[in-house]
Amino acid sequence: MKFEVLKQSHLKRNIIIGVVVVAVISAIILNFTRAKFRTTESIPLVNGTINYSLADLNIVAITVDGEPSDTIPTGNYELTENSYCTVNGEEDSNITLSYDSNTQTLSVIPFTTKGTKCYLDFVTSTTKKVDTILGTIEVNLDTPDFSKTSCTNGSDDGGNCEEETVGIYEETTSKGTTYYYRGDVENNYLVFADKYWRIIRINEDGTVRIIYSGEKSEVDAAGKETILANGYNDSSTQYTQTQTSAFNSLRDRSYYVGYTYTTDLQRPSTQNGGTASTIKGILDTWYNNNLQSYDSKIASGGSAGFCNGREMASGYSWSSQPSSAIYYAAYERRENGTPSYECSNTNDLYTTKIGLITADEVIYAGGTSSNNYGYYLYTGNSYWTMSPSYFSGSLAYVFRVDSNGSLIHNSVYRTRGVRPVISLSTNNAITGSGTISDPYVVSS
């Protein structure tokens, strides 16, 4: 009898344990199942983040450059106007779709109804957004034809508009990526040191290279002050340059194309060494008189330096007074439409805080040997670059931007305009949108 009672007791205990185990397993399965169906995803929206269940939003179809796809593409793509969403089988025109290729985030605004179905159509983007010291800028991804002048159709004013490439473009160099302005751009105006400037490019190190475009205002004989749009008024273009000067007063040796030079040498044997050219003295004096108090805001060295490239064109050897003409590499690059931001010899790179625009920067901006009245470097004046062109006979030649906007050359002793170029350091705070009515402004 004791044995039977004991057996009955074990049976009861086993039944209880079994019930408990079944209950625990059921609870686990139930919670797991509920958790599975309650899993949420998030779509970052302009005004916050909305959580939705997987069953609430259905991506019905995706096409990429006209071809069906199973996934949202990665890289530089944008949604087209063919993308849309439906609610209960009807297209909802109130829903806005957008896609950020940088974060690969799809935004659906507003998203309030379960059962929303979306059809996404992507195309390869021709632009991308880049965060810079100027804020977020939109950069064109194609490569211009540098053998052609760049302008906006209708803006050439009798010039030679060959290609409508206008905006901000990028170029990768050994130092990184630079973003340059090209054509008849209207968003590269900047005010610094109470003067107007135009932005040439954002250098590889993030500094901003700018070219002088005039004082913010002028005072007439009666003492009346006039604010000058674009650094000059409609009746005169003299204000886009600080003065006129020879590049060098000496001209009968090839080394006189140098920003600084050493007798009988292609370039000084040390960086920034040698005798200063006439125009370097002019620029240094102007800097001391106008920008010295802003010195901490102006960069020097690295990609903020100034290249007076004195390498020779293919097939030419340097001589201080050759018997026949010799051409520099900048001349070859202009002829071939192959500009470069590289400075191949360190002793041609000046780490000063002021200099001139290079011929290559003019080509990137849209200049060629043809007339061009339709890009931002055209002012109606003829002004110097700091790039050597050639030496012939007894004359040294340096490139200039002509009064018709073309990139040609002059003997160094000629008097031409001076447009100082500086680079703003990355520690500056810059506001504005870059238009003439809302220029970028560097905080004091």
Judge whether residue 195 has pLDDT over 80.
Answer: yes
Judge whether residue 46 has pLDDT over 90.
Answer: no
pLDDT cut 70: percent of the chain above it: 82
Whether residues 157 and 232 share a domain: the answer is yes
- Residue 105, pLDDT score: 82
Bigger pLDDT: 334 vs 103 = 334
Picking from 125, 155, 171, the residue at the C-terminal end of a domain is 125
- What is the CA angle 253-361-438, rounded to 5? 135
Whether residues 94 and 156 share a domain: the answer is no
Judge whether residue 10 has pLDDT over 80.
Answer: no
Whether residues 105 and 141 share a domain: the answer is no
Q: How far apart are CA 367 and CA 269, in angstroms?
A: 32
Judge whether residue 34 has pLDDT over 60.
Answer: no
Picking from 125, 148, 166, the residue at the C-terminal end of a domain is 125
Enter the pTM of the model.
0.81
Judge whether residue 15 has pLDDT over 70.
Answer: no
- Residue 358, pLDDT score: 98
Judge whether residue 437 has pLDDT over 90.
Answer: no
Between 82-91, 155-164, 364-373, the lowest mean confidence (pLDDT) is in: 155-164
Between 59-73, 279-293, 415-429, the lowest mean confidence (pLDDT) is in: 59-73
Contact between 291 and 354 under an 8 Å Cβ cutoff? The reply is yes
Picking from 56, 91, 125, the residue at the C-terminal end of a domain is 125
- Domain presence at residue 1: no
pLDDT band at 160 (very low <50, low <70, confident <90, very high): low
Query: How many domains is the chain partitioned into structurally?
Result: 2
Collapsing DSSP states into helix, strand and coil, what is residue 221?
A: coil
What would the mean pLDDT of 299-324 be, rounded to a whole number?
96
Domain range for 207: 130-442
Whether residues 71 and 98 share a domain: the answer is yes
- Residue 183, pLDDT score: 93
What DSSP string runs through 228-290? PGGGS-TT--GGGSSEEEES-S--SSGGGGSSEE-TTSSS-SSTT-SEEPHHHHHHHHHHHHH
Judge whether residue 171 has pLDDT over 70.
Answer: yes
- Domain presence at residue 6: no
Secondary structure E strands in 141-228: 167-173, 176-182, 189-192, 195-202, 208-215, 217-219, 225-227
Q: Calculate the average pLDDT of the chain.
A: 86
pLDDT tens digits along 232-271: 444 455 678 999 999 999 999 999 999 999 999 999 999 9
- Residue 162, pLDDT score: 82
Whether residues 297 and 181 share a domain: the answer is yes
